[in-house]
Chain A
Amino acid sequence: MSAGVPNQNGTITPVMFPSGYWRLMGVHYAPSLQTRRGVGALMCNQVGPDYAEYYKTVRMLVGMLVAKGFDCLRFDYTGWGDSQGGCEEGSVRQWLADIASAEALLKERSGCSKMCLCGFGFGGLLAAAHAARCEAEALLLWESVVDGRSYCRTLRKNHSAWLRGSFVKATELDKKFQAMGFVGAADLERQMRQWRLTDLPLCRAHRVFAVVQDGSSDQAVIAEHLSRGGISVKTCAPGDALPLRPMRAAIAWLEGMAGDG
C-alpha cells in the first residue's frame, strides 16, 4: 500500500485490496481532520464503454465531496481498469462482491458510521442491488441503468452503428460480447440483461437521490420503485457535459443526510 498523498483538501491513498480471488485497485480520498464528517461515499463506477468518461465525473464529484468532509473510495471492478483479471473474469456476481469488499475497506480505513452508495450507469443498478442488503444510509444514482435488457440492446445498437461508420472490421477474435471497447465473456450479456431495478428487493437506504433526465421513463421507474416503503426520493436532471449543477445538488443532499442525527 502506498503512503497517503496530502493535497489541499485531505489525503489521497492508492490501495490494492482483495475481493475474493482478485486484488482490486482503489483510491481512498480522506478529508482533513478538521472537516471530516464521519460519512463515507463509495463510488460504484459505470460498467460499459463510457467507463473512462464516467471516471472523470466520479473524480470530480469525489473532489467536491472530500472538500465537504466526506471520506470517498473509488475502485475498479474485477477485470476493469487497474484491477486484476481479464475481460473474461467480469461477472455481475463478482462485481457485487467487489462492491461489498470496497465498502468494508472504506469503513475500515475511515471508521465512518454512515455510508452512502453512489452508482453511475450500470454501476447504479449494482449499487441499488447492494443497497438492498447492506446498511447504507443513502443511495445516489447517477444516470443509472434501470433495465439491463434495454441497456444491452442499446450497447449492441451503438456498437453496430460505430462499426458501420469506422474503418474497423470485426474478426473471429471479436466474437465476444463487445461494445465500443467494453468487452465481456460470452455469458456476461445474458447476466446483465437479467438485472432490472424493479426486480430488486426494497432498498434499505432511507433516502435516494437520482440524477436522471426530467420526464423520462427512467425517472418514473426510479421514483415509483424506490419510494416504496417511505424512502425519500429526490431527482435532478443531468445537465450539460460538465455536470456541476447535479453535483452541487447531490452534495447539498448528502450534507443534509450527514447532518441528520
Chain B
Amino acid sequence: MDESAVVFGSQSLVGILCEPAQAKEMAVIFVNAGSTHRCGPNRLYTILARRLAAKGYASLRFDISGIGDSPPATDLGKFRDYAARQVQEAMDYLAQAKGYPQLVMLGLCGGADIAFDGGTANERAAGLILVNGAFVDGDAFADLYHKASRKTANRFYAAGLFSPRRWWRLVTFQSQFWKRLARRKEAAPPAHTACDRSTAEMASVDSRLKWETLARRKANVLLIYSEGSVFWDIYKAANKNYLKSCYPADRLAVAFHRNADHTFTLLSAQERLANQIEQWLDTLPPSHKIAERIAI
C-alpha cells in the first residue's frame, strides 16, 4: 500500500491517495464528514482507507475548500453546491489522471449528503455508501430534526427502562435527562411548523428526484445508520417508505448498527462498519459489467 499527498482540481484541493500494490478498477472517494478534515471523525476515514487498500481498493480522501488543508473558497456560491462540484472534480481526477473507471462515494453525516449530490450528478459513481445521512432539504429540515431528536431520546430512555443504574441516576438528578428536558423546552419549534408526515415528504422532494436518477442509472446504494444517530429517525420519517417502494430492492441495502454512536467512536463499532463496507464492496459487479449496465 502506498499513500501520497496530492493536490488536484480547479481549487487546488489537498488529499491523500491511498493505493494498494494490486489495485482493482474500482476506487472509493471519502467525502468530509461535516467540517472534520479528511481523516474523518476518530480517524475513521484513514482507518477505512487502509482497510480497503488491503482488499485491493484504492481511495482518495480529500478536503473540500475551506476544510482541513484545502484553501478557503471565494465566490463559489453555497457550500453544498460547490462541495458537490468538488466531489465531481475528485471523481474526474481519479478517473482521468489515475485511471479508475468506476467509483464509489463514501460519506458520513453531512458528507453522506454531499456524496449523494456528487454521486447523482456523475455517471462514474457506480455505488454510494452513505452513513448517517439526512437526504432532506429546505426549511422543513429543522422541524424534522427536532422531532427526530425526540424519537432518538425516547429510544435511548426506552433502552434503559430495566436498568437500575439509570433509574438511580434519574432520581438522584445525575441523569442527562433533566438537562435534555430543559433544552427541549428551549428548542421547541413554533407550533405552526409542527412536523408531520407531509412536512417530512416536502422536505425530501429534491432528494427524491436524485434517488430517481440513481435508480435509473442502476447505482448500488448502501445506507448505514447507527443506533445513536438522530438521522436514523429522520430516515424513517422522510425516506424509508419511499425508498422501500421506489428504489430497486436488489440495489439498495440498509444497515442498522446497534451499540454505535453517530461517528462510530469505539473501535468495536469501527470494526463492524469496516467489515460491512468491505463485504458490500465485494458484492458489486466488476466495472465492465457496470459499464454495460449503464449503456443499456
What residues on B are CB-neighbors of A93 within 8 Å? none
Closest chain A CB from B132 CB (angstroms)? 13
- Number of chain A residues whose Cβ lies closer than 8 Å to a Cβ of chain B: 40
Q: Verify if B156 is at the interface (C-beta below 8 Å from A).
A: yes
Inter-chain contact A181/B5, CB cutoff 8 Å: no
Q: Which of B33-41, B106-114, B135-143, B194-202 contacts A (4 or more CB under 8 A)?
A: B33-41
Closest chain B CB from A95 CB (angstroms)? 15
Inter-chain contact A12/B14, CB cutoff 8 Å: yes
What residues on A are CB-neighbors of B263 within 8 Å? 181
Inter-chain contact A25/B5, CB cutoff 8 Å: yes
Interface centre among A16, A82, A165, A183 (most CB of B within 10 A): A82
What residues on B are CB-neighbors of A76 within 8 Å? 39
Q: Verify if A2 is at the interface (C-beta below 8 Å from B).
A: yes
Q: Verify if B246 is at the interface (C-beta below 8 Å from A).
A: no
Q: Verify if A27 is at the interface (C-beta below 8 Å from B).
A: yes
A36-57 contacts to B, CB under 8 A, are 52, 55-56
What residues on A are CB-neighbors of B121 within 8 Å? none
- Number of chain B residues whose Cβ lies closer than 8 Å to a Cβ of chain A: 40
Inter-chain contact A82/B159, CB cutoff 8 Å: no
Q: Verify if B4 is at the interface (C-beta below 8 Å from A).
A: yes
Task: Choose among A80, A84, A181 the residue that contacts B41 (Cβ–Cβ < 8 A).
Answer: A181
Inter-chain contact B259/A56, CB cutoff 8 Å: no
Task: Choose among B7, B39, B155, B156 the residue that contacts A5 (Cβ–Cβ < 8 A).
Answer: B7
Query: Known contacts A25-B5, A52-B36, A81-B43; is A167 also within 8 Å of B71 by CB?
Result: no
What residues on B are CB-neighbors of A169 within 8 Å? 259
Q: Which of B52-60, B85-93, B208-216, B264-272 contacts A (4 or more CB under 8 A)?
A: B264-272
Q: Which of A170-178, A185-193, A209-217, A244-252 contacts B (4 or more CB under 8 A)?
A: A170-178
Distance in angstroms between the alpha carbons of A16 and B228 in the assembled complex: 36
Query: Known contacts A12-B14, A27-B14, A52-B39; is A1 also within 8 Å of B228 by CB?
Result: no
Inter-chain contact B259/A180, CB cutoff 8 Å: no
Distance in angstroms between the alpha carbons of A172 and B263 in the assembled complex: 20
Inter-chain contact B37/A168, CB cutoff 8 Å: no
List the A residue with the shortest CB-CB distance to B5. A14
Inter-chain contact B3/A16, CB cutoff 8 Å: yes
Closest chain A CB from B261 CB (angstroms)? 5
Inter-chain contact B16/A166, CB cutoff 8 Å: no
List the B residue with the shortest CB-CB distance to A5. B12
Closest chain A CB from B185 CB (angstroms)? 19
Query: Known contacts A15-B5, A168-B269, A183-B267; is A81 also within 8 Å of B260 by CB?
Result: no
Distance in angstroms between the alpha carbons of A171 and B261 in the assembled complex: 14
Inter-chain contact B265/A81, CB cutoff 8 Å: no
Distance in angstroms between the alpha carbons of A144 and B18 in the assembled complex: 33
Q: Verify if A3 is at the interface (C-beta below 8 Å from B).
A: yes
Inter-chain contact A181/B35, CB cutoff 8 Å: no
Q: Verify if B46 is at the interface (C-beta below 8 Å from A).
A: yes
Inter-chain contact B42/A181, CB cutoff 8 Å: yes
Give per-residue flags for B244-279: 1 if the beta carbon is below 8 A from chain A beta carbons, else 0: 000000000000001111010111110100000000
Q: Verify if A153 is at the interface (C-beta below 8 Å from B).
A: no
Q: Verify if A150 is at the interface (C-beta below 8 Å from B).
A: no
Inter-chain contact A14/B69, CB cutoff 8 Å: yes
Inter-chain contact A170/B268, CB cutoff 8 Å: yes
Task: Choose among A55, A167, A173 the residue that contacts B37 (Cβ–Cβ < 8 A).
Answer: A55
What residues on A are CB-neighbors of B37 within 8 Å? 52, 55
Query: Known contacts A5-B71, A7-B12, A166-B261; is A16 also within 8 Å of B266 by CB?
Result: no
What residues on A are CB-neighbors of B271 within 8 Å? 173
Q: Verify if B176 is at the interface (C-beta below 8 Å from A).
A: yes
Q: Verify if B227 is at the interface (C-beta below 8 Å from A).
A: yes
What residues on B are CB-neighbors of A178 within 8 Å? 266-267
Inter-chain contact B227/A167, CB cutoff 8 Å: yes
Query: Known contacts A1-B5, A52-B41, A169-B259; is A12 also within 8 Å of B268 by CB?
Result: no
Give per-residue flags for A16-28: 1 if the beta carbon is below 8 A from chain B beta carbons, else 0: 1000000101010
Closest chain A CB from B155 CB (angstroms)? 8
Q: Verify if B6 is at the interface (C-beta below 8 Å from A).
A: yes
Query: Known contacts A168-B261, A178-B267; is A2 also within 8 Å of B228 by CB?
Result: no
Closest chain B CB from A212 CB (angstroms)? 26
Interface centre among B6, B226, B258, B259 (most CB of A within 10 A): B259
Inter-chain contact A168/B260, CB cutoff 8 Å: yes
Give per-residue flags for A57-89: 1 if the beta carbon is below 8 A from chain B beta carbons, else 0: 001000000000000000010001110100100
Inter-chain contact A176/B267, CB cutoff 8 Å: yes
Distance in angstroms between the alpha carbons of A173 and B14 in the assembled complex: 33
Give per-residue flags for B6-37: 1 if the beta carbon is below 8 A from chain A beta carbons, else 0: 11000010101000000000000000000111
Query: Would you list 28 pairs from A and B whose C-beta atoms are within 8 A, ordered by A residue?
Result: A2-B6, A3-B7, A5-B7, A5-B14, A12-B71, A15-B5, A25-B16, A52-B36, A59-B69, A82-B3, A82-B5, A164-B176, A167-B156, A167-B228, A167-B258, A167-B261, A168-B228, A168-B259, A168-B266, A168-B269, A169-B259, A170-B266, A171-B259, A171-B266, A173-B267, A173-B271, A181-B43, A183-B267
Q: A52-B41, A80-B43 are in contact. List 10 more A-B contacts (CB 8 A).
A: A6-B12, A14-B7, A25-B3, A25-B16, A52-B37, A55-B68, A76-B39, A82-B38, A181-B41, A181-B263
